[in-house]
Structure 1
């Protein structure tokens, strides 16, 4: 028997875009058959198990939008062994994190060249994960900022005060905070007074505002 030909599915609701993308990938060295689909449902109605991966061009659609997120989450859950790769105009870090969290194997920004796109697809299909260098740099900056914020908070507040702060930010009343933390309500009030004093805030509303402004 001959060697099995690899098949990649490309999903894009825009006919011209998906045809140009498919032809460009082949022209730049992607050595596999490509089949084009206008939607995930159209791909699913075909013999979906015959594909080694699926590239979905979401364009400018927001990955954080419930409908798109649910659609891709369901796809990955139903086909756990199928590498899902996203091509997107959106390079928002939160969007990239959301995609990776549900199991996307590659997040390709539309700003990269076609050669990088070919390499990204090959990496994802080989079991790796692709994120652009620009996105990695943004993630590193974000993680550094988060670590600085956490360090500053830990220096300013005790561990218990930080727990109370998170409860305050969620709008919880003193009684609820006391119940959840196993403390007396009077102890919670002491923690809140200490937090307000450290922030030079006159009330809890001002304290929450200053926390959000200082540590976000």
Structure 2
């Protein structure tokens, strides 16, 4: 079972038939065979789209045409981490080369932390390789019309991790947060994205990411969800 974070318009079949199927879908995987197989599957199911496959982000951004008609980027990383510097650099290059084009990550891992970190970096969809092709295609459609997709298993995993937290790891009352960090925590409690936090607090998005990392370290939280949960628990307990 998988869950969309936001839903497309009610008649998604109409959208798929009438609005989709135009523009280029980019497939990237460093394994040539996987890249070609994935591109062929997408091409079969989305015959009206132009589907291009590449074995590296660098090759993609230097070889892609100048028409800028890309509607989706499928970034397949296999068992690689979606939180390392290499991944972050790749996302930055893709975002610069295809501004406004949604990026969907396809990965082996279903770790909640990795998925949430991907979303923090601007990824609009995260499809685990355990998903069926039908689910992957529906996820692509959802993202293309403006939604966000993550596997429901990641939410379940994150919830279990939070509920099983030892009492000793509860909100650290002795920790000192700066005014800026406190403001970021409040924004995280409201589920706001880094871009929104940066805009509202008048700071760079990169600065927000640094604050989030420091907050997670102080609270010994694995991800943003746990930060919000810990903060809310502390506030509720103090009321």
Report the TM-score range of the alignment, normalised by the length of the smaller protein: 0.5 to 0.7
On the 8 A contact 2:124/2:147 being kept in 1, the answer is yes
Match of 1:127 among 126, 135, 146: 146
Q: Give me the CA root mean square deviation.
A: 3.2
TM superposition shift of 1:78: 5.2
Whole-Å Cα distance in 2 between the matches of residues 144 and 28 of structure 1? 41
On the 8 A contact 2:22/2:48 being kept in 1, the answer is no
Whole-Å Cα distance in 2 between the matches of residues 16 and 107 of structure 1? 21
Match of 1:17 among 22, 25, 34: 34
Q: Secondary structure at the match of 1:9?
A: strand
On the 8 A contact 1:30/1:118 being kept in 2, the answer is no
- Equivalent residue number for residue 58 of structure 2: 41
Whole-Å Cα distance in 2 between the matches of residues 19 and 105 of structure 1? 23
Greater relative contact order, per chain length (Cα 8 Å cut-off, separation 6+): 2
Residue 113 (str. 1) matches residue 132 (str. 2): yes
TM-score by length of 1: 0.63
TM-score by length of 2: 0.57
Whole-Å Cα distance in 2 between the matches of residues 144 and 123 of structure 1? 30
Q: Measured at CA, do residues 33 and 94 of structure 1 come closer, stay the same or move farther in structure 2, by a change above 3 Å?
A: same
CA distances 1:130-181 after superposition (whole Å, capped 9, x unpaired): 10121222233345456x859x846xx8x4xx326x8xxxxxxxxxxxxxxx
The count of corresponding residues between Structure 1 and Structure 2 is: 160
Tell which deviates more after alignment, 82-91 or 32-41.
Answer: 32-41
Unaligned runs of 5+ in 2: 1-18, 178-218, 221-229, 231-239
TM superposition shift of 1:73: 3.1
CA distances 1:63-110 after superposition (whole Å, capped 9, x unpaired): 122122222134325544110110001122221111000100001100
Larger Rg: 1
- Equivalent residue number for residue 157 of structure 2: 138
Q: Secondary structure at the match of 1:23?
A: helix
Residue 6 (str. 1) matches residue 23 (str. 2): yes
Structure with greater proportional helix content: 1
